[in-house]
Amino acid sequence: MLRIKNLVVDHGAIRALHGVSISIEKGQLAAVIGANGAGKTTLLRTLSGLNKATDGSATWGDLNILHSKPESLVRHGISHVSEGKSVIPELTVSENLELGALWRRNRKESAQSKKEVVDLFPRLGERLSQRADSLSGGERQMLAIGRSMMAKPQLLLLDEPSLGLAPLVVEQIFQSIRDLTTSLGLTVLLVEQNAMGALKIADIGIVLNLGSIAATGSAAALRDDPAVRAAYLGF
Amino acid sequence: MFEFFNTLLIGITAGSIYSLMAIAIVLVWRSTRVVNFAAGGIALASTFVGTTILEITGSFWIALPIAMLAGAALSAFIEFFFLRPLLKRSGEKTQEIFLPIIATLGILGIIKSVLQFVYGDRIGVLTPPLSDRGFIVSGESIALSPLRLMILGIVLLLMIVLTLVFQRTNLGLSLRAASFSPEISRLSGIRVDLIRTLGWAISGAAGATAGILQTTNGSGSVSPEAFEFSLLLVFGFVAAVIGGIESLVGAVAGGLTLGVILAIILMYFGSSLVFFAAFVILILVLFLRPNGIVGVKGGRRA
Ligand SMILES: Nc1ncnc2c1ncn2[C@@H]1O[C@H](COP(=O)(O)OP(=O)(O)OP(=O)(O)O)[C@@H](O)[C@H]1O
Ligand SMILES: [Mg+2]
């Protein structure tokens, strides 16, 4: 269970989150939607330790996750796929994947995880020795998610995996995220501009507006909410 | 022809030493984006450590690894206690980008002063373990001596080890990843701060080896104001820059190119033009191939 209470985050003089409270149960896929600048990325970066919180609290199970470094949080099962194609272009596909499991210091487990990722995204398997900058946008996103799966996370933080991808690829990526959540019992916080797509696969939805929560509820209810439809779904 | 061949041999030997220095500079640049003038001081100090160990034990083969360890330790110490706090505090503002550069210049000065204080007017003597008399080929002595062969062997061995470490080990993958993208590395669980310190340590060991070899290849003795070390630092930088500053392969290519060209100039035009030529090469490469002689356009090489 992820419990976020009154989270306040500042970027210098700009307050990006004004006391956000969110509660997600284990195994749930939660979609966070909202316009540009709503604070979605800031929320994820704070949860993974990249940004500092000004106030409030956040816990994952018994673990207090504010004031920890990203490299320690990974060791506690929290993995963040950051905004943009979160891969290292100069490394090969294989190296990008291995990177995600280095901290486990276990080559056998790492090889096993790599096999699982390749089973999940066969297109990566055909390109293991290629440099990541030779991949298409969709393949890069698969690689980014694959890398974070190499850490065997329990809580997955995904920042706009659909960004810049063709509709068909977006559908594939969303389907993979849904499948992973269900089959591995992951808890997922999925940040998206593509509100309709995200709410279709999510269990619950959270609408962020200018750093505050505007609406929250089951994904189905949000999809039918006239105010949400008008503001974020465009019809 | 014979003379030209000898000049090539001299150039390759000197160039291989510049390559090591260039590697020291590239490693620090890649891990922390710091232009490390202190590399010259680290090489100098570790060479003094080497001469002292050689004096005590009488063995070059004990002195060299201990000098490398000393270089690694000193370099890691500098990163941990000076550069890390400084980089944490400094931002993107123009005047702040100069801070680390000025800091490494300052540290270079401090190291030299400390050496002056400790060693005074005494110089460190590094008797080479092998003869520097050239092999005899068809009655004539060539520029390749047992000593030069040893220098080339040590440099080659180190490069093979470095390549294997960088391409084949987990540490190497961490070092490359942390230099390309610290943020994604941290999110992948890499302890980037630790990896940076290790990058500086490897750089220090490479610089120490360059210092020891430069001394054995040159006058055989070292003083805190040794001109040989100023040359080593400058040529190391030029080699790193013409190699593209990002790449270890480039550093080696840059060092060898520079060594050979300078040897030819020294042979046929005299010593007064060597310094001048080094900078002309630097400027030419910057204009004609800003990504370095092996640089890939718009990309960085592992
Ligand atoms: N590093 C930063 N420095 C200053 N302000 C920032 C920084 N990062 C974000 N902000 C500000 O914080 C607010 C929230 O930004 P954030 O990136 O979290 O939004 P977002 O919801 O992810 O937007 P988008 O959908 O465009 O990615 C914005 O007003 C933004 O300008
Ligand atoms: Mg964002």
pLDDT 10s digits, B13-68: 999 999 999 999 999 999 898 999 999 999 999 999 999 999 999 999 999 999 99
DSSP bridge pairs for B125? B221
pTM above the 0.80 mark?
yes
Q: Which residue of B has its CA nearest to A78?
A: B187
Distance of CA A17 to the CA centre of its chain: 18
pLDDT 10s digits, B193-232: 999 999 999 999 999 999 999 999 998 999 988 888 999 9
A84: CA distance to ligand 2 center in Å? 9
- A53 is written with which tokens? 């919180």
Task: Write the DSSP assignment of A60-106 as a string of letters.
Answer: ETTEE-TT--HHHHHHTTEEEE-SS--S-TTSBHHHHHHHHHGGG--
Contacts 24+ apart (CB under 8 A), B219-224: B220/B125, B220/B126, B220/B127, B220/B128, B221/B123, B221/B124, B221/B125, B221/B126, B222/B44, B222/B47, B222/B48, B222/B51, B222/B123, B222/B124, B222/B126, B223/B119, B223/B123, B223/B124, B224/B44, B224/B112, B224/B115, B224/B116, B224/B119
- B89 is written with which tokens? 């505090």
Task: Place B296 in a pLDDT band, splitting at 50, 70 and 90.
Answer: low
pLDDT 10s digits, A26-55: 999 999 999 899 999 999 999 999 999 999
> If 0-12 CB within 10 Å is exposed, 13-18 middle and 19+ buried, where does residue B165 land?
middle
Q: Residue B255: which residues within 8 A CB-CB, separation 6 or more?
A: B15, B16, B17, B18, B19, B20, B21, B22, B235, B236, B239, B243
What per-residue confidence (pLDDT) applies to A230? 83
Domain chopping of chain B, boundaries: 2-288
Tokens 């003379």 identify what position?
A: B3
Q: Is the pLDDT of residue B87 over 50?
A: yes
Of the candidate ranges A4-13, A113-122, B85-94, B293-302, the one whose mean pLDDT is the lowest: B293-302
Q: Is the pLDDT of residue B299 over 60?
A: no
Q: What is the largest CA-CA distance in chain A?
A: 52
End-to-end CA distance of chain A: 33
What per-residue confidence (pLDDT) applies to B92? 65
Return the ∠ at Cα A109 (arms to A104 and A111), rounded to 5°. 115
Name all residues whose Cβ lies below 6 A of ligand 1: A 11-12, 14, 16, 34, 36-42, 83, 193
Rounded Cα distance, A172 and A38, in Å = 26
- A59 is written with which tokens? 């816990």
Architecture of domain B2-288: Orthogonal Bundle (1.10)
Chain B CB contacts of A99 under 8 Å are 173-174, 177, 184-185, 188, 190
Residue A189 in 3-state DSSP? strand
What per-residue confidence (pLDDT) applies to B297? 46
* B125 touches A at CB < 8 Å: no
Q: Is the pLDDT of residue B95 over 80?
A: no
A37: CA distance to ligand 1 center in Å? 5
* A113 touches B at CB < 8 Å: no
pLDDT 10s digits, A186-233: 999 999 999 999 999 999 999 999 999 999 999 999 998 888 888 877
Task: Please state whether beta strands A155-159 and B221-222 pair in parallel, antiparallel, or not at all (unpaired).
Answer: unpaired
pLDDT 10s digits, B224-271: 888 889 999 999 999 999 999 888 999 999 999 999 999 999 999 988
Choose the closest CB to A98 out of B173, B187, B299: B173
What per-residue confidence (pLDDT) applies to B28? 95
- B54 is written with which tokens? 């050689």
Task: Place B89 in a pLDDT band, splitting at 50, 70 and 90.
Answer: confident
Average pLDDT, chain B: 91
- Nearest residue to B209 via CA among B25, B20, B42: B20
Backbone φ and ψ for B288, nearest 5 degrees, come out as -85, -40
**Structural domains in chain A, sorted by start:** 2-88+155-233 (3.40.50.300)
Q: Please compute, for residue B189, the number of CA atoms within 13 A of its CA located in the half-sphere on the CB side.
A: 25
The dihedral formed by the CA atoms of A113, A119, A124 and A129, expressed in degrees to the nearest 10: 60
- The amino acid at A124: L
Helix axes A107-120 and A93-101, enclosed angle (nearest 10)? 130
> If 0-12 CB within 10 Å is exposed, 13-18 middle and 19+ buried, where does residue B4 land?
exposed
Neighbours of A227 (CB within 10 A): 11
Rounded Cα distance, A44 and A80, in Å = 8
Distance of CA B80 to the CA centre of its chain: 20
Rounded Cα distance, A134 and A90, in Å = 10
How far away is chain B from the Cα of A72, in angstroms, using its nearest Cα?
7
Sign of CA dihedral A193, A197, A202, A206: positive
Chain A CB contacts of B186 under 8 Å are 50, 69-71
What per-residue confidence (pLDDT) applies to B298? 44
Average pLDDT, chain A: 94
Distance of CA B248 to the CA centre of its chain: 11
Average pLDDT over residues A103-118: 94
- B1 is written with which tokens? 């022809």
How far away is chain B from the Cα of A165, in angstroms, using its nearest Cα?
21
- Percent with pLDDT over 70 in chain A: 99
Average pLDDT over residues A63-91: 94
Q: Which of B168, B186, B188, B291 is the mutation pick for testing A, counting most A CBs within 10 A?
A: B188
Rounded to 5, what percent of chain B is helix, strand, coil? 75, 5, 20
Rounded Cα distance, B130 and B147, in Å = 5
Q: Is the pLDDT of residue B123 over 90?
A: no
Of the candidate ranges A22-26, B16-20, B116-120, the one whose mean pLDDT is the lowest: B116-120
Q: Are B209 and B253 in contact (CB under 8 A)?
A: no
- B18 is written with which tokens? 């510049």
The dihedral formed by the CA atoms of A145, A150, A151 and A156, expressed in degrees to the nearest 10: 20
